[in-house]
Structure 1
Amino acid sequence: MNLDVRPVTEPEYRDWLRALRTGFLRPPVVSDEEVAQRLPHTDLARTQGAFDEGRCVATFRSFAQELTTVGGAPLAASAVSNVTVSPTHRRRGLLSRMMDADLAAAKERGDAVSTLIAAEYPIYGRFGYGPAAWTTEWTVDVRRAALDPRRSGPDDGGRIDLVDAPEIRGTGPGLHERLRAARHGVVGRDQRGWDVHTGVDPLPGQPWREPFYAVYRSAEGQPEGYVAYTCDETWEDGKQPLNTATVRDLVAVTPAAERALWLFLCSVDWVMLVKSGHRAPDDLLPLLLPDPRAARVTTHADMLWVRVLDVVRTLEARTYGGEGTLVLELHDTAGLAGGRFRLDASPEGAVCAPTTASPDLTMDIAELGTLCLGDESVVRLAELGRIEEGRQGAAATADTLLRASRRAWCPDIF
C-alpha cells in the first residue's frame, strides 16, 4: 500500500482534523468554527499527515517550546502533540515515519530536547524518550482534614481576593513566568494558552464553564499566586452539601501563597471534596493539612517525557548539587545524540564534551531523558538493568550529581 507521509497543506487541514478526532475517539465531524480557531495557531510546516488515496489516516504536530531545566535555565524544545493513527492503518510504521522526520528536523533546528505527554506508556521509549516528570492528583476530604473551622483567611498578613478572568490574563502570565524560572519541568505558556484557559477562545467542541478565580496577595500587596477552580452542585438526602471543588490551575511562587490557596479551597462553604488537578508528586498539599491522610492519591502517573537531542547543551544548561566527573556512553539507534561524553560538574557550572575515556555508565539515550531533570535515581535504573556501571560506585556518584532537591513538575498537558 502506497501511503504518503508529508506536511499538511491548508486545503487538507480539515481532513487532518477529522483524522485527529478519529484517533482520539471523538465524533469525526469538523466544523468551520474549529478550522477557523485552530488553523491560525498551527504551523503547517510542522504538521504531518499520512494519506491513503487522498484521505488522512494519521496525524502528528510539533511546535516550539521552552522547558525549564534544573536550576531555572530554559532549554529549547520541540513539543510533540496531536499524534494519532486511524484504526484502519495501525502497525504500518506511520508513527515511526512521522517521528523520524520530526526529530531530524528538530535536531537540524538546534532544539536541545523533544518533549511530549504520552497517552500510552509503551509507545515512545523506542524513539528515545524517557519519562522525566510525574504527576500526582489528590482528592481532599475536607471533613477529615481537621482544619480550624474558625479560620477566616491567611494568618500571615496576606489576603485572598476573588477576581475575574481579565485580571488573571493580566496577572497570571507574570506569575507563571516566575514559577517557570524556579521550577524544573515547567514549560512555557503562550498567549493562545491563556486565551483558551480563561475563556477568550475556548477549544471548539468543549463547552466552556467559567471557573472561579482567586488571587493571593502578600502583606505588601504583591500577587504571589492564583487558583482557578470549578464547583459542582451535589447535595445528599437531608439537605447536606456534598460539593466538589476541582482545581483547573494553581500557580504559587511562594510557600505562603501555596499554603494560603490550598487552605482557602478547603474552607469554601459547602465544599466537602477538593480535587487538586495535576501536581508534583512532592507537592506541599498533603502536609499542609493537620491530617494529611485526608488527601487521598487518586492519580499517580508519568507526565512529561523528554528525548535528548543535544547532550552537551542539555547537561551544561542545568545546575548540580555537588562536584564530580562522569563519563557517559549513550546508545542512540536513531543516530541523533549518541556517543561518549565526559561531564565535569560542580555547583558553579558544568562542562560536557565528547571523550574517548572509558565509560563510567552506559545507557540508552532514553535513560538520559529520564535523568536529565533530576527526578529519577541512577542507582534504581542500574538495579533494573537499564544502566550498566563501568566503574563500581559510578551510579551512586551520578545520583549525588544529578538528583534535584525537588521533583520535576510539568503542570500543563499539551
Structure 2
Amino acid sequence: MTLAVRTLSPSDDLHDWLRAVGTGFLRGPDVSPEEVVARRPGIELARTQGAYDGARCVGTFRTMPQRLTVPGGGSVPSCAVTNVTVSATHRRRGLLNRMMTGALDAARERGDALASLIAAEYPIYGRYGFGPAAWSTEYAVEVARTGLDSRYAGPDDGGRVDLLDPADVPPVGREFHERFSALPDRQGVVSRDERWWLLDTGELTYEPPGGHRPFHAVYRDANGTPQGMVSYSCENRWEAKLPENICTVRWLNAATPAAERALWHFVLAMDWIATVRTGLRAPDDVLPLLLPDPRAARIITHADFLWLRPLDVPGMLEARAYPLEAAITLEVADKDGYAAGRFRLAAGPEGAECRPTRESADLSLDVGELAPLYLGDESAVRLLSLGRLAEHRPGAAARADLLFRTSRRPWCPDVF
C-alpha cells in the first residue's frame, strides 16, 4: 500500500498520531483520552505531519515557532522541530526525508532564519543540513564534599531567596526570562510560551494524577528585582535512618553572578539532600568553581544538545553581534539549496551587513558546519584542521575566529 505523508486536519485522529509518537520513542502505545484533550491546544495542526500506512499513523513530525537568542542579545525566528518518529515497522522507506523536506520548505517560505532541534541520535540530522551548535553538561554534586558552609542562612549581599507558589511562577518567570534571554552572552536560549509555564509548574500535565509538583524559588536583589530562578524536585531515599535524598534541578537561570551563586548555595544547603543533579548546564558552567572543592561536582553527561539548520544566511549573520571590525566572504554549500551561496559579511561592534557576492571566497564550508560557528561555540581553525572547511586566503580561519567566537559557550537550557 502507498505510504502517504500529509499535514493533519481537524478531522484527523490525534489519538492515533500520539500513539505513533509514544511508539517511536518507546514509551508505549497507550494514550488516554485525557492526554489527547490536554495536548490538543499545544499542537498546531498545519505544522504537524503524519505518515500513514492506510489508516494507521506510522511516522510523526511537528514544528513550532520559536525565538533563538544569538550573540549580543538579539534573536532570530526559528522553526523548532520536535516529535520526530518513524515506527520500527516502516524504517528506511524515505518517510523522514519527505516530512523533513515539507517542514523546511514551509520554514523557508515563512522567513524563518533557521530550523532547530534536539537530536536524539547524533548521525541522523547532518544529512539534512543540521549541525551541533550548543553542547550541554550535567553534574552530580556530592553535597558533603563541596566544602560549603553548612551554617549558610541565605545571601549576604542584600538579596534574598524566596519559594514561589505555582500560580506565581508564570508572571515572575515570563518577565525574568525575557531579560535573561536578552543577555549578550547567553546565546542559545529559546523562547518560552504560555503553555511552557503551565507545563513547568504542573498546572498542565499529561501524566496521571498523583505526582508531585516541582518546587520553584526566585532570587531577588536588594532592590527586589528578580535576578534568578530555579525549579527543582526531590527524591526521598533513606537508608538505615540516614537521608540519601536526591535533588534534581530542572532548570536554574540567573541574570547576575550574585543570583547564580545564591541559587546554587540555596540548593546545595538544603537539609537531607545528599546529591544534587544539576540538569542541563552550559559546557563551561561555573558551578564547579563555585565550590571550595570542585571535584564534588562530577560530570555525568557531556554531549551535543542544540542543533541548527541555516536557512537564511544573511538574516542569521546580520542578527548577531561581533566584537571587532572585519570582513570575510563565505561560500556555503547546501545540497538542498536553502542556504547555498557566496556571502560577504562586513561586521563590527556597531552592526553587520551580509550580502550575496561574486567575489572570491575566503572560506568555504558545508551548511552544517556553519551551525557550530554561528553561536560562537566552534573554532574555524579547528574545523580547518579537521578538513571540515577550506581556507582560500591564508589567515582567513583565524580571522573568522576573531569574528565568531564568544567569551561564553552557547547554552540551551530547555528541552523542546
Q: TM-score, normalised by structure 1?
A: 0.97
Q: 1:315 deviation in Å?
A: 0.2
Secondary structure of 1:173's counterpart equals helix
Q: 1:240 deviation in Å?
A: 2.3
Q: 1:9 deviation in Å?
A: 2.3
- Matching residue of 1:114: 115
Going from structure 1 to structure 2, the CA distance change for 1:240 and 1:403 (only over 3 Å counts) comes to same
Q: 1:359 deviation in Å?
A: 0.9
Q: Where does 1:367-386 land on structure 2 (aligned, <5 Å)?
A: 367-386=369-388
Q: How many equivalent residue pairs? A: 413
- Contact 1:33-1:204 at 8 Å conserved across structures: no
- Matching residue of 1:304: 306
- Contact 2:135-2:306 at 8 Å conserved across structures: yes
Q: Where does 1:67-78 land on structure 2 (aligned, <5 Å)?
A: 67-78=68-79
- Contact 1:235-1:241 at 8 Å conserved across structures: yes
Q: How far apart, in 2, do the equivalents of 1:204 and 1:46 lie? A: 24
- Matching residue of 1:94: 95
- Matching residue of 1:184: 187
- Matching residue of 1:196: 199
- Matching residue of 1:235: 238
Q: 1:262 deviation in Å?
A: 0.2
Q: 1:206 deviation in Å?
A: 8.6
Amino acid of the residue matched to residue 311 of structure 1?
V
Q: TM-score, normalised by structure 2?
A: 0.97
- Matching residue of 2:4: 4
Q: 1:221 deviation in Å?
A: 2.0
- Contact 1:37-1:204 at 8 Å conserved across structures: no
Secondary structure of 2:13's counterpart equals helix
Secondary structure of 2:301's counterpart equals strand
- Contact 1:115-1:305 at 8 Å conserved across structures: yes
Identity %: 58
- Contact 2:116-2:309 at 8 Å conserved across structures: yes
Going from structure 1 to structure 2, the CA distance change for 1:123 and 1:205 (only over 3 Å counts) comes to farther
Q: Where does 1:7-406 land on structure 2 (aligned, <5 Å)?
A: 7-10=7-10, 11-182=12-183, 183-204=186-207, 208-237=211-240, 239-406=241-408
Amino acid of the residue matched to residue 270 of structure 2?
V
Q: 1:149 deviation in Å?
A: 2.2
Secondary structure of 1:290's counterpart equals coil
**Cα deviations across residues 97-124 of structure 1 (Å, max 9, x unaligned)?**
1001110110011001100010001000
- Contact 1:199-1:208 at 8 Å conserved across structures: no
Q: How far apart, in 2, do the equivalents of 1:381 and 1:235 lie? A: 49
- Contact 2:188-2:411 at 8 Å conserved across structures: yes
Secondary structure of 1:37's counterpart equals helix
Cα RMSD (Å) of the superposition?
Answer: 1.2
Q: 1:71 deviation in Å?
A: 0.7
Secondary structure of 1:51's counterpart equals strand
- Contact 2:38-2:205 at 8 Å conserved across structures: no
Between 221-230 and 270-279, the greater mean CA deviation after superposition: 221-230
Q: How far apart, in 2, do the equivalents of 1:274 and 1:227 lie? A: 13
Q: How far apart, in 1, do the equivalents of 2:208 and 2:50 lie? A: 22
Q: How far apart, in 2, do the equivalents of 1:212 and 1:76 lie? A: 31
Q: 1:207 deviation in Å?
A: 6.2
**Cα deviations across residues 232-269 of structure 1 (Å, max 9, x unaligned)?**
221233x2221111101212111101100001111111
Going from structure 1 to structure 2, the CA distance change for 1:31 and 1:123 (only over 3 Å counts) comes to same
Q: 1:204 deviation in Å?
A: 3.6
Q: How far apart, in 2, do the equivalents of 1:362 and 1:209 lie? A: 52
